[in-house]
Structures are given as C-alpha cells and as structure tokens.
Amino acid sequence: MSLFSDVAPVRFEGPQTDNEYAFRVYDKDREVLGKRMEDWLRCAVCYWHSFNWPGQDIFGAGTLPRPWLGATISQAMADAKLEAAFDFLTRLGMPYFTFHDVDAMATAATLKEHDRNLKTIEARIQEKMAASKVKLLWGTANLFSHPRYAGGGATNPDPEVFAWAAAQVRGCLETTHRLGGQNYVLWGGREGYDSLLNTDLKRELDHYGRFLSMVVEHKHRIGFKGAILIEPKPFEPTKHQYDRDVAAVYAFLQRYGLAKEVKVNIEVNHATLAGLDFEHEVAAAFTYGIFGSIDINRGDPRNGWDTDQFPNNAQELVPAFVALIEGGGFSTGGFNFDAKLRRQSVDPADLYLAHIGGIDTLARALLAAADVVSARKLAELKRTRYQGWDGELGRRIESGSLDLAALADLATASDFQPAVRSGRQELAESLIARHCKY
C-alpha cells in the first residue's frame, strides 16, 4: 500500500469511456505500421518530478504530499519512495522508468557513503523490477543540485569537483548497467557559464570533451551496451549551456571524436527554449545519425522558462512523430515523461490523470502521424518539390562533377530563368490537421 494505491490498475477502455482513470487511445497492443503501440512509444515515468519533487518553486515551499521527502533522505525514506514509485508505475502499466542517482538513494556526505547508499537502493530497485517487469529506460547522475556543482561538474574550474562528477557518473553508469538500463543520460545543466568574463571557454570545453571520452571508455570497459545520450538545453540554470541544441551537441561530439559514440536525448521544452521547433531537433538528430531518446513535455507559449508541463496537444506533436516514424522509430530510446504537476495538483490522483492524459496524447499523435505517413501525400509533396534534383543538372551538381566555374558557365550559357514555384506549405499543414482525428 502506498499514497498511490487508491487508483485501480489503469486499462485501455476506448474513446467512449467515462472513466478518467482509463486510457481512451493508448491501447498498448494495437498494431501501428507493423509494431505494437507500446513498442513505438516505450513510455517512461521519471522519478524526479513524480516522486522527488514536493512542489516547491522559487517563491514557495512544497505543496504536494510526498511524506518520504525531507532536507536529508534516510534509507527508510528512500525505501518508502521506491515503494510508492513502483506502486504508481505498475498501476499505470508503464514499461519503463528513469532516475537520477540522488532521486532514489539516501543522502550521502562523502563519496564512500554515496557509493554505499546507491548500491543499497540498487539492490532494492532490482527486486522491484524483477517483481513488476518494469524496466529502466535510463539512469543519470545529478551533477547540478548539490552546492559543489554551482560552477559546473565536468566544466568546473576546480578539478576536485570534476573528480566528484567522475565518481558519481562511474557509480550511476555501473548501476544503470546492472539494472539493465537501455541508455545512460548526461544532462549538463551546469555545464555552461553565467558570465564569459570569468570563464575559460576553451578549457571548459576541453574538460567536458575529456569527461565524455572517459564515460565512453568506461562504458566499453564494463560492457554496457546501451547508448550514452547528451540532453541538449540552451540555458537554465546556467545562462549559456554548452549543449545548446542538437547541432551544438553534434559539433561538440565531432570536435572530440565522439560522434559515433554518443547520441542525444531531445526534450520538447528545451527545443522551445532554444527557439527551435521540436520536430526540427528530431529531424536534425536523425540527419546527423545521433537520434537517441525523447523527454516529452511542453512549455507554456507565454513563458520563457522550462515549465515541464504534461503534453496535451497531439496535433502540435504530429510533425515530430512523422520525423520519428520516417527515421525508423526508437531503438534504445523512448518517451520519458520529464513533466511535472502544477503546484496545486495536490491529490495523488493528479499524477495518474497527468500521465494518462499525456500518454493518450502521444497515442493520438502516433496514430495521426502513421496515417500521414501511410497516405504518402506529404512524401509525394516533398518528392515533387525536389524533383529537379533527379534530372541531369541536379545529378551533376550532387555528384560533384561540376566545379563552381563550370556550373556558373553552364548557367550562363543555358540562360536559366527559374520561376518561383509553390512550396505548398498550407497544403502540408492541412494534411497534418486532417489526420488528427483520434
């Protein structure tokens, strides 16, 4: 029994149901383009927002009943949290969860204690996973909450902090490996700067590159087969975060020779903060060959910060789902609900309602995107838009057989007079809207 035991296991009941504690669209066994819905979405509940955040904000204290939380977490509190988390996960019927080391374990003051407390909770998580069949999508080390990380983890001016970060990541990567985690995530919330005036940019980037190389080397040493993922975000808490967006991460990975070893975990609200469309980030990651996983949530269109709200607008997500389907879907990744309740959502039931609404939103977006892809009209629109490139001129340019001068001479001699042609954007947008019927 736990705080979350009042809700009966959540089932698919279809769109006609009156039951708020049922899925209307998410039918995990429904086949979509040859794959079960559950296998397309690979949904995960995150430990931190759901069980480790009491609802505080910068102006006020926690509001949510989370009796296992306090200034320091004892082993008994960590155990109560684990009990509640797995009660929730199994009642919701989610296949995966995600966690930071410090979300799950008892508070530690030294690295020795950290290692011991993490291993203690790992053994208990292992039992819970075995009993419930819930799997680990990814683990991650929290290198941003403790005051020692105020100036960064891997990019801290103090090498002793770098060493602390290394020890935490080693521990959490190994725990993730032993728990059968499918990925390991690094979100560099404090890997950035607040002022360039006191920051050695080159040195910090080199340290960050070295840190990541050490993580990759260790991954291979211990035989971890999952993916190492960087989670881009432009700012917050730092004013400028190095992992700004997918393109910045790709440049960083290339510079340090890691582009074949590390992928990205894209978060919707982070893309928004970077001034980019979520679908752009997904498409860019597939294009660069570094697509890994997704943290699903949304921002508020009028706020410039990371509100981490539950997604509820399927139509808005369809373009990203089209990119996901066309890219072949997830391999090791999934949709992690990196989303939190509002401060007034104080009933344990609210956590169910938030996830049910969010998961149904993903199911709606998936079905609509599958229809868009199957109808092939968008693909056809793109094909005809670029068809000039399938002709002789296009082929000669693409193959590299023309240099700049030869192409200029050809254009001049042929007197090219290209006309503006319709990009059919409104049609493309209507195609998305018309398939949003679930």
What is the binding site for ligand XUL (CB under 6 A)? 48, 100, 140, 187, 189, 231, 233, 267, 295, 306, 338
Contact between 243 and Co ion by CB under 5 A: the answer reads no
Residue 24: name its binding partner from ligand XUL, Co ion, none (Cβ under 5 to 8 Å by kind): none
Residue 306: name its binding partner from ligand XUL, Co ion, none (Cβ under 5 to 8 Å by kind): ligand XUL
Taking the CB of residue 94, how many other CB atoms lie within 10 A of it?
24
Distance separating alpha carbons of residues 268 and 277, to the nearest angstrom = 8
Whether residue 6 lies in the annotated active site: no
Non-local CB neighbours of 178 within 8 Å, separated by 6+ positions: 122, 126
Residue 263: name its binding partner from ligand XUL, Co ion, none (Cβ under 5 to 8 Å by kind): none
Residue 316: name its binding partner from ligand XUL, Co ion, none (Cβ under 5 to 8 Å by kind): none
Q: How far is the CB of 413 from ligand XUL (least distance, A)?
A: 55
Whether residue 371 lies in the annotated active site: no
Taking the CB of residue 56, how many other CB atoms lie within 10 A of it?
13
172 DSSP assignment? H
Q: How far is the CB of 269 from ligand XUL (least distance, A)?
A: 7
Q: Closest CB to Co ion among 295 and 371?
A: 295
Q: How far is the CB of 205 from ligand XUL (least distance, A)?
A: 20
Distance separating alpha carbons of residues 294 and 329, to the nearest angstrom = 11
Distance separating alpha carbons of residues 211 and 162, to the nearest angstrom = 8
Distance separating alpha carbons of residues 354 and 345, to the nearest angstrom = 9
Distance separating alpha carbons of residues 228 and 224, to the nearest angstrom = 10
Q: Closest CB to Co ion among 273 and 325?
A: 273
Residue 233: name its binding partner from ligand XUL, Co ion, none (Cβ under 5 to 8 Å by kind): ligand XUL
Q: Closest CB to ligand XUL among 267 and 360?
A: 267
Question: Which entry of 27, 87, 100, 245 is annotated as an active-site residue?
Answer: 100
Q: Closest CB to Co ion among 23 and 97?
A: 97
Taking the CB of residue 358, how many other CB atoms lie within 10 A of it?
23
Residues from 264 through 323 that contact Co ion (CB under 5 A):
267, 295
Q: Are strands 22-23 and 291-296 parallel, antiparallel or unpaired?
A: unpaired
Residues from 163 through 182 that contact Co ion (CB under 5 A):
none
CA separation, residue 94 to residues 128, 244, 360 (Å): 14, 30, 13
**Residue whose structure tokens are 């005809």:** 384
Q: Are strands 43-46 and 335-337 parallel, antiparallel or unpaired?
A: parallel
Q: How far is the CB of 101 from ligand XUL (least distance, A)?
A: 11
**Strand-pair partners of 291:** 264
Residues from 110 through 139 that contact Co ion (CB under 5 A):
none
Q: Closest CB to ligand XUL among 17 and 56?
A: 56
Q: Interhelix angle for 201-222 vs 246-255, to 10°?
A: 80
Q: How far is the CB of 157 from Co ion (least distance, A)?
A: 26
3-state secondary structure 384-418: HHCHHHHCHHHHHHHCCCCCHHHHHHHHHHHCCCC
Q: Closest CB to ligand XUL among 94 and 369?
A: 94
Taking the CB of residue 334, how many other CB atoms lie within 10 A of it?
26
Residue 278: name its binding partner from ligand XUL, Co ion, none (Cβ under 5 to 8 Å by kind): none
List 174, 338, 360, 371, residue binding Co ion (CB under 5 A): 338
Question: Which entry of 87, 101, 103, 245 is annotated as an active-site residue?
Answer: 103
Q: How far is the CB of 154 from ligand XUL (least distance, A)?
A: 14
Positions marked catalytic: 100, 103
Q: Which residues bind Co ion (CB under 5 A)?
A: 267, 295, 338
